[in-house]
Amino acid sequence: MLLGYSISPSDNKCNMLDDVVLNQCSKYSNIYELNAINPTYSNKKRKVNVSCTYDGFTIVSDVFKAFCEAEEYSGLEFITLPNSPGFYWFKINNVVEYDTVRRETRFINYSEECQGYEEIIGATPVCLKCNIPLANGFFRSDVCFGSYAGKSPIEMVGIETKQKLSAAGFKEIFFKEILDKYDWEK
């Protein structure tokens, strides 16, 4: 059964955290825990409404923000990027539980001192703990995947939201089905 879609914007060939001084424990954290942007970050893909940095920050335009506001999607934040007028770090606060056991997610190099992992691997295919379709709107996984400070959540949308995004012409977003069961599962 189709539960929704994971979304992957096109990459914008930049890192948000370049030139940002991070502490020793940052490599055990993720972009939501760090909750920091580089004030000098400049979005090089100014004609693209949705893109993603190499270190996992989703960047959106005024056009995308207006779309979300017109649709009255809740649980979203648009963090202004001081050096990129009209663009924002798109944060999703609607969290769904990821099934790390079913997906056999790997947690690598835990730090007692920093209370986190250096790497978390095993994001796709997306396995959710609750196998009911996502509601209309945007969601993120409770687990952030990747390496060091660039760990970020899986971003997801409900079936109706995917249809609205496609109809609105946001071609730079790639959608992948989230299923309740995959061929590799017995």
Residue 90: the pLDDT is 98
Q: Are 56 and 152 in contact (CB under 8 A)?
A: yes
d(CA 48, CA 17): 20
- pLDDT, one tens digit per residue, over 127-169 is 999 999 999 999 999 999 999 999 999 999 999 999 999 999 9
Task: List the chain pLDDT tens, one digit each, 186 residues.
Answer: 999 999 999 989 899 998 888 899 999 999 999 999 999 999 876 789 999 999 999 999 999 999 999 999 999 999 999 999 999 999 999 999 999 999 999 999 999 999 999 999 999 999 999 999 999 999 999 999 999 999 999 999 999 999 999 999 999 999 999 999 988 886
What pLDDT is stored for residue 186 in this prediction?
65
Q: Three-state DSSP class for 144?
A: strand
What pLDDT does residue 140 have? 98
Contact of 170 with 64, CB cutoff 8 Å = yes
Q: Which two tokens stand for residue 153?
A: 């959540």
Per the structure block, which two tokens stand in for 94?
A: 């609607």
Task: Return all residues near 106 (Cβ < 8 A) that are at least 6 apart.
Answer: 119, 120, 121, 122
At residue 91, the pLDDT reads: 98
Burial 143-159 (b: 16+ CB within 10 A, else e): bbbbbbbbbbbbbbbbb
What is the pTM (predicted TM-score) of this model? 0.94
Letter for the amino acid at 160?
A: E
Q: What is the pLDDT of residue 184?
A: 80
b/e for 11-50, b at 16 or more Cβ within 10 A?
A: ebebbbbeebeeeeebbbbbbbebebbbeebebebeebbb
